[in-house]
Structure 1
Amino acid sequence: MGTETFLARQPIVDAEHRLFAYELLFRQSMASVSAQISSQLQAGVGVISNTLCLGPDWLLQGKLAFINLDEATLMSDFVCLLPPQHVVYEILETVPVSSVLIARIRELRQLGYRFALDDFVCLEEYRPLLPMVDFVKLDVLEQHPEKTVEILAHIQRDFNGQFIAEKVETREMFELCRNSGIQYFQGYYFARPENLANKSIQPGQLAVLDLMNKVSNCEDLSDIEEPLRRNAALTLRLLRYANSAAAGLQQQIHTVRQALTLIGLKTLYRWLALLLVTAKPTPTNALAARTAVTRGRICELLGQPRLDRQAQDELFITGLFSLAEPLMEVPLARLLERLPMPDSVVQALVHQTGPYAPFLKLAEASERGDFERIARYASDIDSSPEEVNLAQLQSLAWTEELTSEASPATDESAYG
């Protein structure tokens, strides 16, 4: 069986939830049950080659990439393929500390590369590395908070760099880490913003919901044209989208009627759904919004060889709306009351059942790099881990292309 490679991208943010970097994650197949050097080398090289293939400029958008390195990859020439200004190499906790390792780190540092210690624990053997690394990452999920504070105090005298708390999953843990002097943070708390179920649907969201309902039941374009023309903000956004590369049109669009005629109702519905789910431009939501768009696209791509066009569109909506609740800060049940959806979409979103559920679960597993679930859910839809990996890469590229057409983050339509 060939090696199955999965690339994921998880944000690292600062104390104000501003994006600082991405960790690029590799996951092996179930066939790699032991830590063979060849598999470790392929893992490290896989991330580096995928980064080169996709291009660090669009993949990172000017941010750093944190990449895990095992001993074999660290000692290879592959690490020099990526420009040093783009990357921070994480030394895995499984790498033995030796004079050879120290000499290699010094050599790469002279070339401009930076390093982090991953899953740091207070072992004396790591002390010689502390003056040579720029970041120390602490797994705050696997240890008691008091242990984290103890580690911080223990290494301060030998370490002048910055700390990253990883696997931060709650507001309480984030605040404890921030108050302890940790500068950067990584974990599902940031990718999945806190759900504030008491928030109501905002007026702007109601306008979009109303238009989506009209599109669903539209028999005459004038039913959509007039409400759009009465909403100047939506009209401007629609015209900008219709004239962007994201819409794929080859001629200039000047009127609402032209836009509606050329992009079609299905594309309009998708655009409104994107606008509805991703329109709140807070720093944390911007990260989750990208995840939502990418998740929708993965579901759609996986459905292309298996389902008809309508089902593919519904898969996109399923993936996109799977994060609607935290993004919009509105309970999903309340949202579905205002926006009736096909039964298959509701089953997947609310009950995790039905024909679309395996696609959604597969997209979520791909984000997490959970190769056990990837293998399971890929089998459920008669797919392969290789196809999932390709869909993940294509979806990341598609999301970046879509969002590159957007205006600055101060505009609510950043994903329109």
Structure 2
Amino acid sequence: MNEANFIVREPLLDPKQRVIGFQLSWQSPDQSTEVSIDSLNLLLAFVAEHLHDDEKGFLLGDSLLFLEAVPELLQADALTLLPPGNTVLILQKKYFASETAFEAVKNLRQLGYGICLRGAEITTLERSFFSQISHIEVKLNAANFASQAKVYASLKRSSVRMVARNVSTWPDFDACSALGLDSFVGKLHLTPRPSAAPKALNTSQTTILQLMEMVRKNADIQQLESVVKRDATLAYKLLRYINSAGFGLRTEVQSLKHAVQMLGYSPLYRWLTLLLATASTSGYSPVLLETAIVRGRFAELLGQLKMSKAEAENLFVAGMFSLLDRLLGLPMSEVLATIQLPESVTEALISRGGAFGSYLALAEACELNSALVGSLADSLKISSDELNTAHLSALVWAKNISLAA
């Protein structure tokens, strides 16, 4: 692979803030420069190779996958590896002027693939396109929202789904949801919704923190079980996570004691970190939790390339904790005051410094399309192929975990 190619992602949200898919693209520092046909073909082939399994099929389950395309790619071999019902190709409006491209679009639509129209002026959009597209990308213009609302209402009566961009505030998100927009692409999910609720740990979170501290100190298993038994729901969710496809166990774990016997204390700590995030009652966005899971796993996989298994597992904790303040609705300083973490994890969380800081920063950069991706990868001696493989693997792993939640 070309060393300059790094996959970045944007989550696709539904009106309930759930992740329904991802848009994957190469990092493009210069947004004014069109990505070459070869680069787009390379991305399509790489994604198809890593998200398709001959036995399991599409590894992201029911998630949608949005990929930028050009007419030359509409008959690419790699496209046949991606399920039509989950794959949406983004095409600029200008390509619809080509009769050859339009015929290729019609053929793909008959096979069930989605087509997302980009760059159209929706106020003057030719209705003849509607029969051949599944989605249309719209950009919110807050200054002209009233006139846009009328167009959105008109589009809502068609079968074309609207994908919104430029939605930067939660009030705008709510307004677009009310108007019938189907999905949203962007980074709004990293900004938690304002909450009037008092910010304090609930009973379940307090119990989980107690368990995490006990696990850190290798407390007797009977002591752990006595704490877990106070909360039947907590015990159930913990076993659900441990038995999820994300862990890949061949034998079902029946109890906490069984889990420690099979796995030891270190993996148990990571699952408690997950439980701590999901035990929030502050009304956090579901996408925030999935982002934390992906970030944690992504950082861990990067760490596995260069460090021990135990150190890499600590990177997972660092990734999860990096969004825990937003998930819990508490300042990071208060979150860190509730539990003693390894110094390397704390340093990474506070300053992105220390042995773990660059790994965590690199995982973040790929979700933010940061210009630092290349330099961070170089500093850690991680190739683009290794980075992109870890990124897609983290998405698959998080999908399996989400199914167990």
- CA distance in 2 between counterparts of 1:157 and 1:222 reads 62
SS at match of 1:355: helix
Aligned residues of 1:10 and 1:24 also touching (Cα < 8 A) = yes
Q: Deviations over 1:135-176 (max 9, x none)?
A: 211133xxx323465456469778832322124232022133
Task: Map residues 269-284 of structure 1 onto 2, 5 A cutoff.
Answer: 269-280=269-280
Give the match for residue 145 of structure 1.
142
Aligned residues of 1:299 and 1:315 also touching (Cα < 8 A) = yes
**Identity of matched residues, %:** 29
- CA distance in 2 between counterparts of 1:13 and 1:391 reads 23
- CA distance in 1 between counterparts of 2:320 and 2:184 reads 25
Give the match for residue 14 of structure 1.
14
- CA distance in 1 between counterparts of 2:77 and 2:89 reads 14
Equivalent residue letter for 2:162? F
Aligned residues of 1:93 and 1:117 also touching (Cα < 8 A) = yes
Q: Relative to structure 1, is the Cα distance of residues 14 and 391 closer, same or farther in structure 2, using a 3 angstrom cutoff?
A: closer
Give the match for residue 25 of structure 1.
24
Q: Relative to structure 1, is the Cα distance of residues 8 and 219 closer, same or farther in structure 2, using a 3 angstrom cutoff?
A: same
| TM-score normalised by the chain length of structure 2 | 0.83
Q: Relative to structure 1, is the Cα distance of residues 314 and 253 closer, same or farther in structure 2, using a 3 angstrom cutoff?
A: closer
Worse overlay, 122-131 or 220-229: 122-131
- CA distance in 2 between counterparts of 1:49 and 1:249 reads 24
Give the C-alpha shift of residue 303 in structure 1.
Answer: 1.4
Q: Which runs of 5+ in 1 are unaligned?
A: 407-413
Give the C-alpha shift of residue 47 in structure 1.
Answer: 3.6
- CA distance in 2 between counterparts of 1:218 and 1:79 reads 50
Give the match for residue 89 of structure 1.
89
Aligned residues of 1:149 and 1:180 also touching (Cα < 8 A) = no
The answer on 1:168 being equivalent to 2:163 is no
Worse overlay, 157-166 or 357-366: 157-166
Equivalent residue letter for 1:360? L
Aligned residues of 1:70 and 1:94 also touching (Cα < 8 A) = no
Aligned residues of 1:238 and 1:259 also touching (Cα < 8 A) = no
Worse overlay, 335-344 or 213-222: 213-222
The answer on 1:384 being equivalent to 2:390 is no
Aligned residues of 1:54 and 1:397 also touching (Cα < 8 A) = no
Give the match for residue 318 of structure 1.
318
- CA distance in 1 between counterparts of 2:173 and 2:239 reads 41
Equivalent residue letter for 2:23? L
SS at match of 2:82: coil
| TM-score normalised by the chain length of structure 1 | 0.81
Task: Map residues 21-60 of structure 1 onto 2, 5 A cutoff.
Answer: 21-27=20-26, 35-53=35-53, 59-60=59-60
Aligned residues of 1:138 and 1:166 also touching (Cα < 8 A) = yes
Give the match for residue 193 of structure 1.
192
Worse overlay, 214-223 or 124-133: 124-133
The answer on 1:399 being equivalent to 2:402 is no
Q: Relative to structure 1, is the Cα distance of residues 131 and 217 closer, same or farther in structure 2, using a 3 angstrom cutoff?
A: same
Give the C-alpha shift of residue 388 in structure 1.
Answer: 0.8
Give the match for residue 227 of structure 1.
227
- CA distance in 1 between counterparts of 2:302 and 2:265 reads 23
SS at match of 1:67: strand
Give the C-alpha shift of residue 30 in structure 1.
Answer: 7.9
Q: Relative to structure 1, is the Cα distance of residues 261 and 155 closer, same or farther in structure 2, using a 3 angstrom cutoff?
A: closer
Equivalent residue letter for 1:356? F
- CA distance in 1 between counterparts of 2:345 and 2:139 reads 36
- CA distance in 1 between counterparts of 2:87 and 2:254 reads 44
- CA distance in 1 between counterparts of 2:299 and 2:246 reads 19
Aligned residues of 2:22 and 2:63 also touching (Cα < 8 A) = no
Root-mean-square deviation (CA), in Å? 3.6
- CA distance in 2 between counterparts of 1:49 and 1:255 reads 37
Give the match for residue 410 of structure 1.
none
Q: Relative to structure 1, is the Cα distance of residues 3 and 134 closer, same or farther in structure 2, using a 3 angstrom cutoff?
A: same
Q: Which runs of 5+ in 2 are unaligned?
A: none
Q: Deviations over 1:15-74 (max 9, x none)?
A: 33345x313312158899764332333334444444435988554422433332123213
Worse overlay, 380-389 or 163-172: 163-172
Q: Relative to structure 1, is the Cα distance of residues 256 and 349 closer, same or farther in structure 2, using a 3 angstrom cutoff?
A: closer
Give the C-alpha shift of residue 131 in structure 1.
Answer: 4.8
Aligned residues of 2:195 and 2:282 also touching (Cα < 8 A) = no
Q: Relative to structure 1, is the Cα distance of residues 286 and 252 closer, same or farther in structure 2, using a 3 angstrom cutoff?
A: same
Q: Relative to structure 1, is the Cα distance of residues 99 and 254 closer, same or farther in structure 2, using a 3 angstrom cutoff?
A: closer
Equivalent residue letter for 2:314? E
Equivalent residue letter for 1:146? A
Alignment: residue pair count:
401
Give the match for residue 363 of structure 1.
363
The answer on 1:374 being equivalent to 2:373 is yes
Give the C-alpha shift of residue 202 in structure 1.
Answer: 0.8
- CA distance in 1 between counterparts of 2:7 and 2:29 reads 16
Aligned residues of 1:11 and 1:22 also touching (Cα < 8 A) = yes
Aligned residues of 2:74 and 2:108 also touching (Cα < 8 A) = no
SS at match of 1:362: helix
Aligned residues of 2:237 and 2:275 also touching (Cα < 8 A) = no
Give the match for residue 184 of structure 1.
183
Equivalent residue letter for 1:297? R
Aligned residues of 2:292 and 2:319 also touching (Cα < 8 A) = yes
Aligned residues of 2:51 and 2:392 also touching (Cα < 8 A) = no
SS at match of 1:339: coil
